[in-house]
Structure 1
Amino acid sequence: MDTPTNTILSTLLGEYDFTHRSLADEVNQVSGRIFGRPGAATDRDVRRWISGSMRWPTHRYPLPLAEIFDRPPEAMGFVPRGRTSRLPSPPSSVRPGQEEPVKRRAFLTASTAATLTLALRIEETPVRGRLTMTDVDRITTTIGRLDAHFTAIGGGALLTVATTYIDRLRTTMDGCTYGPRVEQARHTAISGLHSSAGWAAYDSGDNATSRLHHAAALQSGILAKDGHAQARAWSDLSAHSRAEGRHREALTINRAALESRQARQDPRIAGAAPLPPRHRPRPPRHGACARSLLAVEKAHDRFDTTAPPPPWLRFLDTAEIAGLAAIAHRATGRLPDAEKATAQALRLLGPSMHRNRAYYGIQLAQLQLAQGDTTSARATAATVDTTAVSSPRIAQRLATVHRHLATAQETP
């Protein structure tokens, strides 16, 4: 049987400007730094990783690859296989007396969260001395990378990483000295980290913890006097309320997000605000949702493509707008339109967006089931791949779809 090509790793080579030979050389160099002696990877190994003939890197290569590409092996398109996929620990002779306990635990636990903790190097954030804007910029970059991991693999494995980093930054607050400008920037960074932790908790199925983190993100945004951070927190709180069925509350919060000066000035923030939710007991109105969709599309057309968006807004692309359209159509009972929009979102998603691909794949199967098309729903559900996704909530939704399929009648 033919093995699937690892298109994600192939894309990463292009993004990072690696050839097969140069990636092998970089892996060997990083392996030497981690394990005390260089690796023996060759361009042939890289070709086998990309071709899919080797589904998981052997020996000491997963950890160097995780550090090079700043993501766990699963998010590079590798498929774990039981005990052989455990990450190795470095020999005790490596850098004696310099290996911090946090870093040693990261190797030994051999989990996705530990791999990310190592790759993000959160233990390098200072906890004493003078904190500068350079330190804050480094913290902000790390949080941005954490956001990128969420869109790639989901939040289940990131909650531990995010909460660990929050604790680290609290220690930084208590142990370092800094000026007013750094203090404000630090509150902005902490606001972003709480937002990331909130969505990681949501993906893990912990709604209470998720709401606490989103509220803390708003508080830190207010302390920072940062309108963008506050707009993000309002938007997150609105989306959370809508997901829990508190539609009127979501609408009130959503208005606060859209009425902010930042939302009026930055079309990306306006586009990221959730669509007006469904109201009870009155049924949703298609006209209102259509107008909201048009507003989001117009906001997207006004995006400044010459300037990179903030890391937390990089998800807002044409695929996500199609997904928002599907949510709006579903809320107004227009299931065929919702199915078409969901299928469009799946076609537009990038190859590394494992979480969103699984999310919309499940949504497509649900919509097909709701319309009585059991045959299509079964075929769609069979294509949903959660191998590289760390999200208990998504796994639960997929299990529910399979339970419904098991008892459903086939479409005549």
Structure 2
Amino acid sequence: MDTQKNAILVALLREYGHIHRSLAAEVNRVSGRIYGRPGVATDRDVRRWISGAVRWPTGRYLLPLAEVFDRPPEAMGFVPRGVSSRLPAPPTSVRPGEEQSVKRRTFLASTAASVALVLGLDETPVRGRLTLADTDRVSETIGRLDVHFTAIGGGALLAVAAAYIDRLRDAVDGCTYGPRVEQALHSAISNLHSTAGWAAHDTGDGQEARLHHAAALQSAILAEDKRAQARAWSNLAMQARTEGRHREALRINQAALNSRQVRQDPRIAALLHSRLAIGHARLGDRPAAARSLFAAETAHDRFDTAVPPPPWLAFLDAAEIAGLGAIAHQAMGRLPEAEIATAQALRLLGPSMHRNRAYYAVQLAELQLAQGDTGRARTTATAVDTAALSSPRIGDRLAAVNRLLATA
């Protein structure tokens, strides 16, 4: 049987500073806490996971691995066997006080219920006094939800985000807190609505997405959080563009750039200028689109790589700038340039960016097909892996490409 090296797991070992032997030891240590007795993984097991000889480890190893790297199995490069991609539940023999820790730290990607369980959403207080430590934990949870979206898409996350929004609103009404905590709560609710909006977008539910993005803006205004406002404005512009309201999208993007604080944040500025370029391109203003693309690239050059971005902006790197530029070129009818930029985005994408890799691979197939290159389009489309994704929108686009190829 052909095997394929698990490059994602290799990258994770490098990122976390593990060698084969130390990862096996860590898996055994975590396994001991989960199952009540040490694990028996060896460096040979790690080599087999990396080589692809074992594409889906047994639950005894998979549950500790998910905790060690704090992500679902698919985001570690593992491929489900058959129809099941669920992690096993922690054993009932877990000692008191340990089960919730396991639930908090283990991503279960298969269903909304398992994701909610792992993130520990029900641990946010809805009575009593809230402190900034509580809101920090809320923000960390939302950040992990954003990481989950980046890894496999938002299809399974809409219900999770909506339920957590309800819980945070219960906290706003049922708890006591000071002014700073109140602002932090509204910022968190705004960011959660933005995440929910993108999850709805991934499912193809435009109406639900629009409602969440509008609610995100409202909460960001209550929080007096300019960055959250810019995020909400940007998402509203994206939604308007998706619905064909290009002039409205352009105006919203311009409004988002009105804040000096936003313009001076290179990451947010790069995102807004990239989307502004798409807006100008859709309206046929090529010079303005070119200026916005240049502004986005200039802002990208100013990124402070020593400071980690907020989780919701972690996707915005050189690959995403190239991908958004490709969309602008496509809107201007410059298909060869769009194809080159999309291919560049795919080359630059990190190994854990499953959703974006599938998104831009489908975009590349669409561009090749639009230029009449059915051979390469078929090769590109065939290589798109959506098995580990939860994004009906991307799946629908790939299906449309395959239907066109079937009649070509």
- Using the size of structure 2 for normalisation, the TM-score is 0.92
Q: What residue identity is the alignment partner of 2:129?
A: R
Separation (CA, whole Å) in 2 of partners of 1:31 and 1:9: 19
2:129 maps to 1:160: no
Per-residue CA deviation, residues 184-230 of structure 1 (Å, 9 max, x unaligned), is 01111111111111101111111111111111111110110111111
Equivalent residues of 1:6, 1:52 under 8 A apart: yes
With over 3 angstroms needed to count, the CA separation of the structure-2 counterparts of 1:287 and 1:194, relative to structure 1, is same
Give how far 1:157 is off: 2.0
Give how far 1:131 is off: 1.2
Q: What residue identity is the alignment partner of 1:287?
A: P
Match of 2:143 in 1: 144
Per-residue CA deviation, residues 3-24 of structure 1 (Å, 9 max, x unaligned), is 1111111111111122223322
Which residues of 2 match residues 136-285 of structure 1 at below 5 A? Answer: 136-273=135-272, 274-277=275-278, 284-285=284-285
Q: SS in structure 2 opposite 1:275?
A: helix
Per-residue CA deviation, residues 261-300 of structure 1 (Å, 9 max, x unaligned), is 22222122111111244579x9613222111111111111
Q: What residue identity is the alignment partner of 1:392?
A: P
With over 3 angstroms needed to count, the CA separation of the structure-2 counterparts of 1:84 and 1:36, relative to structure 1, is farther
Give how far 1:153 is off: 1.3
Per-residue CA deviation, residues 239-263 of structure 1 (Å, 9 max, x unaligned), is 1111221111111211110112222
Equivalent residues of 1:217, 1:233 under 8 A apart: yes
With over 3 angstroms needed to count, the CA separation of the structure-2 counterparts of 1:315 and 1:40, relative to structure 1, is same
Match of 1:318 in 2: 318
With over 3 angstroms needed to count, the CA separation of the structure-2 counterparts of 1:360 and 1:83, relative to structure 1, is closer
Equivalent residues of 1:72, 1:115 under 8 A apart: no
Per-residue CA deviation, residues 95-134 of structure 1 (Å, 9 max, x unaligned), is 469967x969x99x98254443344333332333321111
Equivalent residues of 2:73, 2:109 under 8 A apart: no
Which residues of 2 match residues 6-405 of structure 1 at below 5 A? Answer: 6-82=6-82, 85-95=85-95, 111-273=110-272, 274-277=275-278, 284-405=284-405
Task: Using the aligned pairs only, state the percent identity.
Answer: 73
Single out whichever of 343-352 and 88-97 deviates more from structure 2: 88-97
Q: SS in structure 2 opposite 1:94?
A: coil
Separation (CA, whole Å) in 2 of partners of 1:264 and 1:98: 45
Separation (CA, whole Å) in 1 of partners of 2:320 and 2:262: 18
Separation (CA, whole Å) in 2 of partners of 1:25 and 1:157: 33
Equivalent residues of 1:153, 1:388 under 8 A apart: yes
Equivalent residues of 2:276, 2:289 under 8 A apart: yes
Q: SS in structure 1 opposite 2:138?
A: helix
Q: SS in structure 1 opposite 2:244?
A: coil
Q: What residue identity is the alignment partner of 1:259?
A: N
Q: What residue identity is the alignment partner of 2:130?
A: L
Equivalent residues of 2:278, 2:327 under 8 A apart: no
Separation (CA, whole Å) in 2 of partners of 1:217 and 1:65: 34
Single out whichever of 296-305 and 201-210 deviates more from structure 2: 296-305
Give how far 1:306 is off: 3.2
Q: SS in structure 2 opposite 1:4?
A: coil
Q: SS in structure 2 opposite 1:60?
A: helix
Separation (CA, whole Å) in 2 of partners of 1:119 and 1:70: 10
RMSD of equivalent CA atoms = 2.5
Equivalent residues of 1:72, 1:116 under 8 A apart: no
Give how far 1:84 is off: 6.0
Structure 1 unaligned regions, length at least 5: none
Q: What residue identity is the alignment partner of 2:205?
A: D
- Using the size of structure 1 for normalisation, the TM-score is 0.91
Per-residue CA deviation, residues 318-343 of structure 1 (Å, 9 max, x unaligned), is 11111111111111111111111111
Q: What residue identity is the alignment partner of 1:205?
A: G
Q: SS in structure 2 opposite 1:360?
A: helix
With over 3 angstroms needed to count, the CA separation of the structure-2 counterparts of 1:144 and 1:351, relative to structure 1, is same
